[in-house]
Amino acid sequence: MIIVTKHARLRSKQRIGLARKAVARQACKAMENGIRLETASNSELRFLLKSVKGGNPEVTPVLYGTHVYVFKYHSNNHFLITVLHQKLADLFL
């Protein structure tokens, strides 16, 4: 189950322009179809995802489209913490 935090809702609206319910749908799609650190193919993409993760084993950065969705796993749930701006992802794509 994916739970969207208040901070993630605000950042999604600010940075992507998504409505409240659309954020949850987009987070589910990102979790299912996004590129994770383990499956990243080129070194720049791995660098981006590692820098977002920051050594925290509970944090899972996922690249979906041109945005980085940052999830945290806790108590059998994935929490969407924040969404990083498109320009950050564009640096590495």
Domains of the chain: 2-90 (3.30.2310)
- CA torsion through residues 56, 47, 88, 22, sign: negative
Q: What integer pLDDT is reported at residue 66 of this predicted model?
A: 82
Q: What would the pLDDT profile of 54-75 be if each residue is shown by its tens digit?
A: 778 888 888 888 888 999 998 8
Percent of the chain with pLDDT over 90: 38
Residue with tokens 């108590």: 75
Q: Which regions of the chain are under pLDDT 70?
A: 44, 86-93
Q: What integer pLDDT is reported at residue 84 of this predicted model?
A: 87
Residue 12: count of CB within 10 angstroms of its CB: 24
Q: What integer pLDDT is reported at residue 93 of this predicted model?
A: 53
Identify residue 10 by its one-letter amino acid code.
L
Query: From residue 87, how far is each of 10, 16, 66, 84, 93 by CA, in Å?
Result: 18, 11, 8, 8, 10
d(CA 42, CA 81): 25
Residues with Cβ within 8 Å of 45's Cβ and at least 6 positions away in sequence, in order, are: 35, 63, 92, 93
Q: What integer pLDDT is reported at residue 12 of this predicted model?
A: 92
Query: What rounded mean pLDDT belongs to the chain?
Result: 85
Q: What integer pLDDT is reported at residue 88 of this predicted model?
A: 60
